[in-house]
Amino acid sequence: MLQDTSFAIHPGKEKQNQKALIYQDVGKVKQYKRTGNGFLFICENAQVAILFYTNSIVRIVMNPKGEPQLDKSKVVVANPEQLLIKEQIINDTIMLKTNRIKLHVQKAPFRLKVTDRRGRNLLVEGARGMAFRENGEVAVWKEMDKDDHFYGFGEKTGHLNKRGERYEMWNTDVYAPHNPETDPLYESIPYFMTLRQGKAHGVFFDNTFRTVFDLKKSDSYYTFSAEGGQLDYYILAGPEPKAVIEQYTYLTGKMPLPPKWAIGYHQSRYSYETEKEVRQLATTFIEKDIPLDVIHLDIHYMDGYRVFTFDHDKFPNPEQLIKELHDMGIRVVPIVDPGVKKDVEYKTYREGVLKDLFCKYIEGEIFYGDVWPGTSAFPDFTDQKVRKWWGEQHTFYTDIGIEGIWNDMNEPAVFNETKTMDVTVMHRNDGEQTTHRELHNVYGFLMGKATYEGLKEQLNGKRPFLLTRAGFAGVQRYAAVWTGDNRSFWEHLQMSLPMVMNLGLSGIPFTGPDVGGFAHDTNGELIVRWTQVGAFTPYFRNHSAIGTVYQEPWQFGGKHEEIMRKYIQMRYIWMPQIYSLFHEASTKGLPVMRPLLLEFPNDKKTYNLNDQFMIGDNVMIAPILAPSVTDRAVYMPKGEWVEIETGKTYAGEQTHLIHAELDVLPIFVKRGTAIMQTEWMSNVKKSPENMSMHVFAGALNESYRFIFYDDDGETFAYENGAYLKLELEVTCSEHGVEVTVVNEQGEYDPLYKEIKLNVIGLARNQKVKINGASRINIV
Ligand code: GLC
C-alpha cells in the first residue's frame, strides 16, 4: 500500500537498501591472543574466535558486533577437551595444529584454511571468507572441489547428494505436496557432510535464525549464511563418513535407547475417533495375526482439540481402554500439539495465563494464533519454568498408563500467511529475552525436551517414546522424527529413501515416513511396496489423512493383506538385529538405515544411490519403487551378496537384474557376515524365547565382527548392567566357518538360553567351529 504513497520515493530508501546489501569482510587481523584451547582474533571489522573441542573438532565463531559469545548454543552438549595445540607463525600465516587438523590463519585479510594432517583440504576460504551485512546477516564462502559430494541437511526432499542445491532452514508446516523444490520442511538441521574421494568432513552451523546453504550458485564455491546472530560453526575432520557422524553427535548428542515397542509396528489414522473403533482395530490385528505395538490417537480424541483432555462422549473411559490394550501388548500414543485453546473455562489455558507461561509480545500481549482448536496461545518452551510445567501436564496421560507422546504442529504451525508465530514475539529464553525470529527453529526442539523430560520423570524407570514433526540439530536426544504430510504417490515412496538416509547422516537415526502415504488415496500395490520398505525403515508407522481411503493392512484384502502380514511379521523376526543397531545408534550416533556410501565410501557408484539402502553394515535392501515393476537393477557393492529370497549369490562391484514379484522385497546379506533373528511375535510384550544367528558362509579369508545387544527393552535397568552384549566374530576360510565369542558383557537374563547357529551356504569341505563360551551358548 505504501508503494502508492510518497513513501515510494523516500530519500533514505535507496541508500539504505544498497548499504544493507553490501557484505563487509572481517578484514585484517590486528592482534590475536590465546587462552587454553581458544584463540581470539581481533580483526578490522569483526572478531573471530577459534576453539578446539577435540583433536578433530574445531569451532569458529565470528561476531560482527563484539567479542564472540561462546555460551549461546541451544543444543551443543560437549565442552572443549584438554588438548595439545601447537602454534606456529610462518610469514603472514598463523598455524594452529592438533594431531589431526591444521588451521592456517592468513592475517591480511583474515582467511581460514583447514587441512587434515595428511594435507587434505577440509575448508578453504579463497577470495572471500567470512562477512556480514548491516542488516545483521552473517555469511561465509568456501571453495568447492569438483569431486565434492554433499549429504545431511536433515529433512530435505530430492536426491541423496545435495550438490547443486540450495536449502533454507526454517521449520515450516508444509501440507502442499512435497516435491523436489519444496523447501524448507518441518525440521532444521544446519549440518552437512562433504565426501571427496572416499574421505569426509563435516560442518555444523550452530545458528538458530533462518539459515541458507547455497551449493547451487557456483560450481567452485559454496556459502552458508544466517539472517542474524553469529557465524558460529564447527568443522568435523572425519576422515571417514562414520567418523563425521560420531563427531557431530558428540556435539549434539545421541538418541536414547528406545523402548522395543517403539520400534515395532505402529498403526495410525487421522483419526480413529472412538473407543469402539480403537478396540475393534486392536482386535482385528490380533485376529489376523498381524503384529502391532502401537495405536496412535490423532486430534479427534480430545475435547474440542484441547490438549490434555479426552472427548468423553467418544472416549468415555480412556483408562480402561488403555489398560485393556496394554494387556494385549498394545500401547496408545496420543497426539499433543503446542496450541492451547483460548478458553477461560479450560484449565490448561487458565493456568497458562495466570502463571504467565505463554509466548508474548514485548508489550505484554499474549500471541494468539489459529490452529485446530481455533484461537490458541502457545507455551514459551524457551523457559525452564514453562518446560517444567508442560512436562508436568503429561501426568494426565502417564497416570492412565500412556508411555508415548506424538508432538505435531510444533514448528509452530499457525493457520496464517506466514504459517507460524509472529517473528517479533519475544521469548523469555531463560532470562535473556529473544525474538521468535531467532528462536523459531528451536521451538519444536524445546517442546520435545519439555515433553521427553516430563515423561521420563513420570514413568518410574520406563523408557518414554516421543515422536515429533519439528526439530533442530540435536532433536535425536528426545524424539523420533516422521517426515510429515507426504502423499500416497510412488514418487513419495521413492523420495522417502534419500530423505530418511540423509536424516540418518544428520545424527537422527529414528525416522520414517507415513507408510502408505498420508494425503491422497493409496492403493493395494503401493501400500504393499511401501510396507516392505517400512519393515526396514527405523520408524515404522502406517498413517493416513481424514477423507482418504482407510489403509490398515487388511483394507486391500486377499494377497495384499497376506503380503503386508508377511512383512510386518518380518519386522519382528528381524527385531534382534534392528534393536542391536539401535543400540549402536544410541552409543555411536550411527544410523540404522544407511546409504551405501557410509559403508563403501570409496565406491563412487554409491555416491548418489537413492533407491537402495543398508541396514547396518551387512544387509542391503533394494525395494521395488514403481507400479507394475517386478524387475530392477541392483548395484552390489564390494563383496558377495546372498539374496535371502532365493539363496542366490551375486558378485560385488556390478549391477544385477533382480526379479521381485509383489510379495518379494529384495534383501541381500553380505557373505562372510551374520544376522540375528527370532520368531515373529504379535508384539514385544512377549520376550523372545528363541534366538538364531544366521551366518552367510564366505569362502575368502575374511572376518567380520558385530555386536548383538539385548535387554528388557522397556526400562532403564540396562544402565545398571541389566543387558546382554555379545561381541561376535565370524571368520571364514576355505576350510571352514568359525564363530568366536570375543567379548561378553552385562547381566541380563533373556528367556532364550542359547543361540542357535545356522550356517547358510556352507561348502562341502567347510567345517563349522565355535570358539569361546558365553552364558548364552551358541549351539
Ligand atoms: C498434521 C500432521 C498429521 C496429522 C494432522 C492432524 O497434518 O502432520 O500427521 O494427522 O496434522 O493432527
CA of 61 to the centre of ligand 1 (A): 38
Say yes or no to pLDDT of 613 above 60: yes
Q: Are residues 271 and 234 in the same domain?
A: no
CA of 372 to the centre of ligand 1 (A): 10
Q: 408: Cβ below 6 Å to ligand 1?
A: yes
Q: Are residues 211 and 273 in the same domain?
A: no
DSSP letter for each residue of 733-771: -SSEEEEEEEEEE-----S--EEEEEEES--TT-EEEEE
Residue 686 in domain: yes
| Average pLDDT score over the chain | 96
Q: Are residues 276 and 154 in the same domain?
A: no
CB 650 within 8 A of CB 656: yes
pLDDT tens sequence across 242-255: 999 999 999 999 99
Query: What atom in ligand 1 is closest to the CA of residue 268?
Result: 10
pLDDT of residue 7: 72
CA of 576 to the centre of ligand 1 (A): 31
| CA separation, residue 186 to residues 38, 172, 249, 383, 482 (Å) | 35, 5, 20, 22, 10
Count of CB atoms situated within 10 Å of the CB of 332: 23
Say yes or no to pLDDT of 3 above 70: no
The tally of domains found in the chain comes to 3
DSSP 612: -
Q: Are residues 248 and 299 in the same domain?
A: no
pLDDT of residue 568: 98
CA angle 242, 248, 250 (to 5 degrees): 100
Containing structural domain, residue 767 = 674-778
Q: 334: Cβ below 6 Å to ligand 1?
A: no
CA of 483 to the centre of ligand 1 (A): 11
CA of 546 to the centre of ligand 1 (A): 9
Q: 178: Cβ below 6 Å to ligand 1?
A: no
Residue 629 in domain: no
pLDDT tens sequence across 217-271: 999 999 999 999 999 999 999 999 999 999 999 999 999 999 999 999 999 999 9
CA of 98 to the centre of ligand 1 (A): 48
Q: Are residues 572 and 521 in the same domain?
A: yes
pLDDT tens sequence across 655-671: 999 999 999 999 999 99
Query: What atom in ligand 1 is closest to the CA of residue 469?
Result: 8
Query: What atom in ligand 1 is closest to the CA of residue 271?
Result: 10
Residue 596 in domain: no
Residue 81 in domain: yes
Among 538, 402, 543, 393, smallest CA distance to 479 is for 538
Domain boundary among 559, 588, 617: 588
Which string of b and e fits 202-222 if b means at least 16 CB within 10 Å? bbbbbbbbbbbbbbeeeeebb
Q: Are residues 232 and 93 in the same domain?
A: yes
Q: Are residues 128 and 221 in the same domain?
A: yes
Q: 137: Cβ below 6 Å to ligand 1?
A: no
Q: Are residues 710 and 574 in the same domain?
A: no
Residue of the nearest CA to atom 7 in ligand 1?
Answer: 485
Q: 298: Cβ below 6 Å to ligand 1?
A: yes
Q: 485: Cβ below 6 Å to ligand 1?
A: yes
Residue 422 in domain: yes
Cis status, amide bond into 239, omega within 30 of 0: yes
Say yes or no to pLDDT of 14 above 70: no
Q: Are residues 248 and 290 in the same domain?
A: no
Residue 543 in domain: yes
Give the CATH number, domain containing residue 739.
Answer: 2.60.40.1180
Please state, in angstroms and rounded to a whole number, the distance separating the CA atoms of residues 306 and 312: 12
Q: State which of 186, 518, 539, 544 you would mutate to test the pocket of ligand 1, scoring each by most atoms of that ligand within 8 A of its C-beta.
A: 518
Which whole number is the average pLDDT over 592-599?
98
Catalytic positions, written as ranges? 408, 411, 485
Using the structure block, give the residue that is written with the C-alpha cell 537402495.
612
Q: What are phi and psi of 328, to 5 degrees?
A: -85, -5
pLDDT tens sequence across 624-658: 999 999 999 999 999 999 999 999 999 999 999 99
Q: State which of 187, 270, 415 you would mutate to test the pocket of ligand 1, scoring each by most atoms of that ligand within 8 A of its C-beta.
A: 270
Q: 469: Cβ below 6 Å to ligand 1?
A: yes
pLDDT of residue 701: 80
Q: 173: Cβ below 6 Å to ligand 1?
A: no
pLDDT of residue 176: 81
Residue of the nearest CA to atom 5 in ligand 1?
Answer: 270
CA of 513 to the centre of ligand 1 (A): 13
Domain boundary among 535, 565, 588: 588
Residues 6+ apart with CB under 8 A from 417: none
pLDDT of residue 699: 76
Q: Are residues 225 and 279 in the same domain?
A: no
Give the neighbor-by-neighbor strand order of the sheet with 138-143: 24-25, 130-132, 138-143, 221-226, 211-214, 166-169
Give the CATH number, domain containing residue 140.
Answer: 2.60.40.1760
Q: State which of 172, 268, 298 you would mutate to test the pocket of ligand 1, scoring each by most atoms of that ligand within 8 A of its C-beta.
A: 298
Give the CATH number, domain containing residue 424.
Answer: 3.20.20.80
**Which set of grid coordinates corresponds to residue 271?**
483419526
CA of 400 to the centre of ligand 1 (A): 24
Q: 411: Cβ below 6 Å to ligand 1?
A: no
Which whole number is the average pLDDT over 697-715?
93
Q: Are residues 235 and 297 in the same domain?
A: no
Domain boundary among 546, 568, 588: 588
What predicted TM-score, i.e. pTM, was given to this entire model? 0.97
| CA separation, residue 51 to residues 291, 349, 683, 745 (Å) | 51, 45, 48, 37
Q: What are phi and psi of 554, to 5 degrees?
A: -100, 0
Say yes or no to pLDDT of 350 above 80: yes
Q: State which of 172, 485, 486, 515 you would mutate to test the pocket of ligand 1, scoring each by most atoms of that ligand within 8 A of its C-beta.
A: 485
Which string of b and e fits 426-448 if b means at least 16 CB within 10 Å? bbbbeeeebbbbbbbbbbbbbbb
Please state, in angstroms and rounded to a whole number, the distance separating the CA atoms of residues 205 and 389: 31
Residue 227 in domain: yes
Residue 349 in domain: no
Please state, in angstroms and rounded to a whole number, the distance separating the CA atoms of residues 714 and 723: 11
Q: Are residues 213 and 273 in the same domain?
A: no
